[in-house]
Structure 1
Amino acid sequence: MIFTASVSRGHHRDTTKTGDSRSVSTTKTVREMLRSRHQSTNPSPDDLVFPAPKGGYMNDNRFRGKIWKPVLESCGIDYQKPYNLRHTGASHAAAGGASLAEISEQTGHSKKVLMKTYLHAIDRKCLFVDF
């Protein structure tokens, strides 16, 4: 998927926060879910992927209270901010062997920020090579 615009707190931007479009890899399950949603709604290019129930932009506070918290509770998971998924995804990608360049492209972070924030997720033994 390629992101070229963003919405934050109900405010639409014609670019992403950094001004750079970014490509994000997804799992096969996510791709199939999005493809199915696309086929069932037949959207126009300007339609939102996940609009609010009554249309328009989704309110992050309402999402957290009405959707996020109940889902976590039903799964027996202690509350975590939705933003934590970003850190978890990048950490799992790093631990799984994704390059800093790949993770940087998907998150929009510089490689320096990634090293500082996510390096702990990498098996440090793999960083040292015997010659």
Structure 2
Amino acid sequence: MITETAPIGLLLRGGQHHRIGGQHRRILHLPLTDKLVELLSCQVTGKQPNDFVFPSPKGKSIDDRMLQRRVLKPVLKKLGLADRDLYAARHSFGTRAVQQGMALTDVAYLMGHTTVETAMRNYVSVTKPAVALPSISDKSK
């Protein structure tokens, strides 16, 4: 779970987003695409480098529950979309990253997991039918 949102200076410096979060309170460095930086730039206009991108009304950090209530819900409403759960979006991101071939170690890191096994358990599905069996060679001949 994200317990703090990124300070603006960290978001815009070098295309990296730094977050502090999870049970282990580790700092993670998350790469942002140019498009994502562009989309978030309206959130940072006129703010100082150490300000948060999505602050509380008092300028402090917000937790994921408040991020959902104060940021995500109003955006979805304005777009005419049904309310969505932030946790479900997180799970969808992890699952789609694996499906699109992202290395499981990278998915585990981006999701803030301390082990690859946790990412595997949460985001790898075996519902897709196998395309082919592995080849078997008989080396005894």
Is TM > 0.5 for Structure 1 vs Structure 2?
yes
Deviation at 1:88, TM superposition (A): 1.0
How many matched pairs? 120
Alpha-carbon distance in 2 for matches of 1:99, 1:108 = 14
Alpha-carbon distance in 2 for matches of 1:79, 1:50 = 19
Q: TM-score, normalised by structure 1?
A: 0.65
Asked if the contact 2:18/2:28 (under 8 Å) is kept, the reply is yes
2:118 maps to a residue whose letter is V
The aligned residue for residue 93 of structure 1 is 97
Match of 1:20 among 19, 23, 26: 26
The aligned residue for residue 18 of structure 2 is 3
The aligned residue for residue 116 of structure 1 is 121
Q: TM-score, normalised by structure 2?
A: 0.62
Asked if the contact 1:50/1:58 (under 8 Å) is kept, the reply is yes
Taking structure 1 as reference, are residues 104 and 77 closer, same or farther at Cα in structure 2, changes over 3 Å only? same
Taking structure 1 as reference, are residues 59 and 115 closer, same or farther at Cα in structure 2, changes over 3 Å only? closer
1:107 maps to a residue whose letter is M
Query: Which structure has the larger Rg over C-alpha atoms?
Result: 2
Provide the identity percentage.
22
The aligned residue for residue 60 of structure 2 is 56
Alpha-carbon distance in 2 for matches of 1:23, 1:37 = 20
Match of 1:33 among 32, 39, 44: 39
1:81 maps to a residue whose letter is D
